[in-house]
Amino acid sequence: MEIILTVEDLSISFGGNRVLDGVNFELRRGETLGVIGPNGAGKTVMLNILSGILKPTSGEVIFEGERLTGKSTDEYARIGIGRTFQVPRSFENMTLYENIMVGGIYGDHLKEPQAGSRAEILLNLIGLADKAKVFAGKLGLLDRKRLEIGIALASRPKLLLLDEVAGGLTESEVLKILELISEMKETGISIIWIEHVLQTMVDGTDRVMLLAEGKNLICGLPRDVMASSEVERVYLGVKK
């Protein structure tokens, strides 16, 4: 399967604190890579680098053969990288339809009619078509998370970065997120998904990477990684 993303020796420091220290991995087209690790492991910092919000101290991010070092966040979006945030960033005084339209207009430079058509398609995909005219500020947490995904998809990303979209949800709500991710995967999109809800990593990903102490310690099939001594040691806190 074709490699869409290559991360080479990615490192970043803030003052004397080295948050990422030589992270290396590849992502295949259409693959979902889960990322787990303890708090402070650098997971969100890594997503911030992959989406252009932060610049690495050293290392390279290569997307579809193109080196991204030095590009702006707008350029990252235009070449096909989208993301969500731990705290949803929708416009609360705009409807769901308008929120997704904004994503298409500013993320993919669509004209209003085309952005509107895409918003209708995405509202159906995320299961919120019946709430198209509801203001985003009226939504519960699950629907805020789904809207966040819809906004990110409005720019037609080839790579979607998900930051804890299942966090804070009930067990039944997590299942709805897993169903949505499964539908997204059928479109061929590549996904990097940070999550603390381990069920999502086992049931919703193709591979899982353990990030700890600024390094990617292990990467493999979800159940193999979850059963590893490394996960027990640095993530679950089990002493051997």
| Among candidate residues 35, 23, 32, 26, the one with its CA nearest the CA of residue 231 | 35
Count of residues making up the chain: 240
107 and 115 Cβ atoms separated by less than 8 Å: no
pLDDT at 25 over 70: yes
pLDDT at 30 over 70: yes
- Residue 237: pLDDT band (50, 70, 90) is low
Q: Supply the pLDDT for residue 204.
A: 95
pLDDT at 73 over 90: no
Q: What average pLDDT score do residues 75-91 get?
A: 87
Annotation: CATH topology of 1-80+157-240:
Rossmann fold (3.40.50)
CA dist 148 → 21, 139, 181 (Å)? 30, 11, 13
Any residues with CB less than 8 A from the CB of 214 and at least 6 apart, and which? 11, 18, 19, 20, 21, 22, 23, 41, 42
Q: Supply the pLDDT for residue 180.
A: 95
pLDDT at 19 over 80: yes
- In whole angstroms, what separates CA 143 from the centre of its chain? 17
Q: What average pLDDT score do residues 166-176 get?
A: 94
In this predicted model, what pLDDT tens digit does every residue of 5-15 receive, in sequence order?
A: 999 999 999 98
58 and 64 Cβ atoms separated by less than 8 Å: no
| Among candidate residues 53, 45, 35, 74, the one with its CA nearest the CA of residue 211 | 35
Which own/partner pairs from 84-87 qualify as long-range (CB within 8 Å, at least 24 positions apart)? Answer: 84/145, 84/148, 84/149, 84/152, 84/160, 84/161, 84/162, 84/163, 84/165, 85/148, 85/163, 86/44, 86/163, 86/164, 86/167
pLDDT at 226 over 80: yes
Q: Supply the pLDDT for residue 239.
A: 55
pLDDT at 128 over 90: yes
Domain ranges of the chain: 1-80+157-240, 91-156
Would you state the structure tokens that stand for residue 222, as one six-digit string? 């979800």
- Residue 173: pLDDT band (50, 70, 90) is very high
Percent of the chain scoring above 70 in pLDDT: 98
In this predicted model, what pLDDT tens digit does every residue of 53-66 receive, in sequence order?
A: 999 999 999 999 99
Q: Is the pTM of this model over 0.95?
A: no
Q: What average pLDDT score do residues 22-31 get?
A: 96
- Residue 45: pLDDT band (50, 70, 90) is very high
In this predicted model, what pLDDT tens digit does every residue of 176-221 receive, in sequence order?
A: 999 999 999 989 999 999 998 989 999 999 999 999 888 988 999 9
Q: What average pLDDT score do residues 120-144 get?
A: 95
Q: How far apart are CA 120 and CA 102, in angstroms?
A: 13
Q: Supply the pLDDT for residue 31.
A: 97
pLDDT at 145 over 90: yes
Q: Please, is 120 exposed, middle or buried when counting C-beta atoms within 10 Å of its C-beta (0-12, 13-18, 19+)?
A: middle
Which has more confidence, 202 or 233?
202
Instruction: Identify how many contiguous H helices and E strands the chain contains and give both numbers.
Output: 9, 10
DSSP structural state of residue 196: S
- Annotate 180-194 with b (16+ C-beta within 10 A) or e (fewer): bbeebbeeebbbbbb
